[in-house]
């Protein structure tokens, strides 16, 4: 029989690892070419991985919720035929070590090819296999039960995925001097037990038995596994054993790094959230933007009563039945018209070429909050759309983002962005530029407020706009004129005829 192993492909530019959110097939299922096998979360979005072969699923190499490096086999499929399966030793080594066999990551691999999604090419870095254990090390461990290290256990070994709020995946940790003192002790134990660089692999203290997710969990908490006695089958250290070690350290009396009362009050009152996926990518992008482009933010308060009345009239028109006419739609249209008058706002800074790249098209980004974090998909060529077409594009974009189905290509190539903080009841803010763009507009809540209108203080519909821009490209005058034009269009939508 012939079996092939499907390796995790590079589904996004620069991706090094991904989390298997859920399997869409089970062992014994028959699959066809391009049938989705699993859903994987990358740094930008959740994507489905299609099968490159037709056949029967014989093995799922990782549980849902596991972080897997690019190039690592994740599923075995029996495709039939007369060719021999991969050598058992090689396949077993790949699974036991949790590392791909030698070869190019994302390129050709024994037993089949690796599919590449969304137009990205294969990685050119080489996969490295861990050194094999020497005969002495094997003999030393002959009496101990040996378990495959790549058996990542049930999905319950990892915290649940983000669902509604960041603290849904929180984990208790130690605090302050207790943690510092214990980590120092753990590091000393590790150094004493670790083999020297000149010694053969396997000498010194035996490696404790624990599954990779448990090892990572212990590492994040600063727990030395060599100090724990495993309660699992065959002496395997479980997640509960690590938690017990943490609790014992927090409430124990042997630590002198901090007063016992302090440890008692702090234990169990802090939580940690793994930084990964969309949140990790967003954090890196925002730091790069904040410390690369010199930000300037200007604010404008606008009477949008006429726009809100126009919204009500348009929503009642039969040709727009079923189309969501939201305040954001008018802000987007006003921004697009203002860009037409001030094209330099729709540009980017090319540091390598020392040039300003002015875009003659507008890919309008809309910041969207999702259960996995902030994403900024964009509407391609938004400046060419009619009001009704723009409304439909906005509805599709936000619905797809909230479902976590936004494709990486839909988040690339943006030229200018709107962030609608008004939906949260917020009046305004100082938004950070989306990397590669020169302007971002924050749209605040529309509120009924006292306003001087025709010499009389009357209640009017009022909102606040905040424009952040890259001062290397957009100076104060240009930014002010652009923001004033957006405000004028929202104050009097009829003035759009003059643009």
Active-site annotation, residues: 471
Maximal CA-CA distance, the chain: 94
Which SS3 state, helix, strand or coil, does residue 368 take? strand
Half-sphere exposure of 235 (CA within 13 A, CB side): 13
DSSP state of 17: E
Burial class (CB in 10 A: 0-12, 13-18, 19+), 212: middle
Report the C-alpha gap between 101 and 410 in whole angstroms. Answer: 33
Closest by CA position to 133, among listed 145, 144, 124, 141: 141
What does the angle CA 328 – CA 416 – CA 488 come to, to the nearest 5 degrees? 50
Structure tokens at 157: 């070994």
> Which secondary structure element, helix H or strand E, spans residue 297, and what is its range?
strand 295-303
Beta bridge partners of 237: 210
Which SS3 state, helix, strand or coil, does residue 10 take? coil
Burial class (CB in 10 A: 0-12, 13-18, 19+), 156: exposed
Structure tokens at 420: 């609608």
Distant-in-sequence, close-in-space partners of 25: CB < 8 Å, separation ≥ 6: 31, 35, 37, 38, 57, 75
Phi/psi of residue 60, nearest 5 degrees = -105, 115
What does the angle CA 73 – CA 79 – CA 80 come to, to the nearest 5 degrees? 140
Phi/psi of residue 141, nearest 5 degrees = -100, 10
Q: Which residue has the tokens 């724990």?
A: 228
What does the angle CA 385 – CA 386 – CA 391 come to, to the nearest 5 degrees? 90
Structure tokens at 279: 């949140």
> Which secondary structure element, helix H or strand E, spans residue 300, and what is its range?
strand 295-303
Report the C-alpha gap between 273 and 168 in whole angstroms. Answer: 9
């Amino acid at each position: 029989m012939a079996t092939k192993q499907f390796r995790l492909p590079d589904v996004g530019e620069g991706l090094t690892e991904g989390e298997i959110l859920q399997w869409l097939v089970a062992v014994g299922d028959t699959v066809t070419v391009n049938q989705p096998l699993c859903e994987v979360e990358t740094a930008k979005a959740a994507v489905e991985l299609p099968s490159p072969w037709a056949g029967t699923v014989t093995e799922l190499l990782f549980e849902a919720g596991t972080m897997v490096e690019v190039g690592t086999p994740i599923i075995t499929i029996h495709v039939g035929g007369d060719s021999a399966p991969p050598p058992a030793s090689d396949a077993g080594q790949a699974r036991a070590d949790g590392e791909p066999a030698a070869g190019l990551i994302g390129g050709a691999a024994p037993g089949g090819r690796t599919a590449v999604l969304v137009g990205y090419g294969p990685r050119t870095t080489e996969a490295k296999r861990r050194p094999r254990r020497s005969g002495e090390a094997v003999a030393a461990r002959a009496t101990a039960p040996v378990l495959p290290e790549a058996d990542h256990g049930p999905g319950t070994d990892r915290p649940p995925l983000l669902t509604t709020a960041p603290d849904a995946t929180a984990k208790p940790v130690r605090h302050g001097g207790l943690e510092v003192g214990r980590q120092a002790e753990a590091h000393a134990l590790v150094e004493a037990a670790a083999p020297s660089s000149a010694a053969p692999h396997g000498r010194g203290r035996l490696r404790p038995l624990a599954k990779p997710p448990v090892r990572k969990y212990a590492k994040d908490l600063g727990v030395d596994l060599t100090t724990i006695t495993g309660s699992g089958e065959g002496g395997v250290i479980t997640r509960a054993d690590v938690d017990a070690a943490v609790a014992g350290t927090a409430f124990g009396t042997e630590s002198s790094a901090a007063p016992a009362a302090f440890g008692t009050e702090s234990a169990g009152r802090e939580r940690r959230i793994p930084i990964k996926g969309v949140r990790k990518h967003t954090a890196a992008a925002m730091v790069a933007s904040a410390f690369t482009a010199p930000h300037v933010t200007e604010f404008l308060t606008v009477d949008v009563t006429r726009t809100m009345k126009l919204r009500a009239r348009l929503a009642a028109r039969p040709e727009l039945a079923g189309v969501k006419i939201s305040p954001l739609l008018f802000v987007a249209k006003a921004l697009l018209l203002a860009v037409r008058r001030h094209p330099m706002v729709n540009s980017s800074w090319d540091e390598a070429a020392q040039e300003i790249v002015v875009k003659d098209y507008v890919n309008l980004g809309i910041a969207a909050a999702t259960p996995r974090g902030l994403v900024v998909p964009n509407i391609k060529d938004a400046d060419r759309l009619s009001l009704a077409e723009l409304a439909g594009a906005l509805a599709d974009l936000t619905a797809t983002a909230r479902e976590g189905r936004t494709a990486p290509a839909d988040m690339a190539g943006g030229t200018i962005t709107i962030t609608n903080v008004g939906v949260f009841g917020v009046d305004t803010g100082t938004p950070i530029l989306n990397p590669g763009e020169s302007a971002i507009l924050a749209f605040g809540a529309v509120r009924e407020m006292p306003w001087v209108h025709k010499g009389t203080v009357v209640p009017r519909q009022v909102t606040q706009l905040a424009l952040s821009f890259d001062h290397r490209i957009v100076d104060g005058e240009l930014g002010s004129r652009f923001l004033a034009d957006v405000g004028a269009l929202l104050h009097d939508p009829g003035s759009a005829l003059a643009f």
